[in-house]
Amino acid sequence: MAVRPILTVPNAVLKQVSRPVEAVDDALRVLMDDMLETMYAAPGIGLAAIQVGEPVRVIVMDLAREGEEPAPRHFVNPEILWVSEETAPYEEGCLSVPEIFDEVERPAQVRLRYQNYQGETIEEEAEGLYAVCIQHEMDHLNGVLFIDHLSRLKRDRAVAKVKKQTAAA
């Protein structure tokens, strides 16, 4: 396993739409293992493959709280089948937009289908932080960042702040 560099705004790769994965194989599992290690090192709770420069429809996530046993999850070719009419606000952040947090309104519940680490197809409902995180990460697969849900002014300020942080590093 290896920690990979995480792309940050305004890197154009982050705006690409990721392509579907043909098969869950050993090479893909290496990518998912690297993504988890990268996410834990950052630290974060979710990471899409495009954030490490791989434009494929893969997400890793771990919503375990500090002090809890790690609970890594793998999502290959995830798709949202249903969203609730009810929405909920949540303050989001992103490893590709470091140190920027803002409230985003999203559907409160979703039903999704994906393949897991073994390539098995899973269908399940998500709510709360899980629903927020899966929607946030799936946005990445479609070239959308959480700041794209904000006003133009807030988005431009966020990008400028990240550029400034990156230049200073």
Does the active-site annotation cover 137? yes
- Identify which of 13, 23, 95 has the alpha carbon closest to the alpha carbon of residue 55: 13
Cα 131 to chain centroid, rounded: 12
How far is 31 from 94, CA to CA, in rounded Å?
20
The closest of 4, 7, 5, 9 to 146, measured between CA atoms, is 9
Question: Could you say which of 91, 92, 123, 137 is catalytic?
Answer: 137
Q: Give the three-class secondary structure for 130.
A: helix
Burial 113-129 (b: 16+ CB within 10 A, else e): ebbebeeeeeeeebeee
Catalytic center residues? 137
